[in-house]
Amino acid sequence: MTKFSNSLTARKKRISEIIDILSKIYPDVKIQLEHENPFELLIATILSAQCTDARVNIVTKTLFQKYRYPSDYLNVPVEELEQDIFSTGFYKAKAKNIRGACHSIINDFGSKVPNNMDDLLKLPGVGRKTANVILGHCFDTPGIVVD
């Protein structure tokens, strides 16, 4: 087998080796976004786009008291949600993605944040980076997140 083998088995083995190496180099990696459950981490990660984790934590401190469930984000006027997340920047797009993700979580996933890549990627505002954050920190699924 060459160094650049394309077989799926070889790639999976190499990924596993890389994760093992990184786990030894960085054994105590802790996410900076404050959250208590997968849903809160999803919201915080959506808000973190083009924003510091410190700013997101300031916003989510009150946001997570006001909005506890996906339905809470849908039961307020979008303008109110936009005001609540304004300081994170790109608040209109983020509010749209949060509401879209909440709608999908309720209607497609039984009000639970999905625990696999394919389903997470179906949520508005969720790309591979966000999905890997949620999978790695909430569902113990290894993934690499680069920021």
Residues acting as catalytic residues: 129, 147
Distance of alpha carbon 134 from alpha carbon 117, whole angstroms = 9
Distance of alpha carbon 20 from alpha carbon 40, whole angstroms = 28
| Measured CA distances, 33 to 5, 46, 72, 90 (Å) | 37, 11, 21, 18
Distance of alpha carbon 6 from alpha carbon 25, whole angstroms = 27
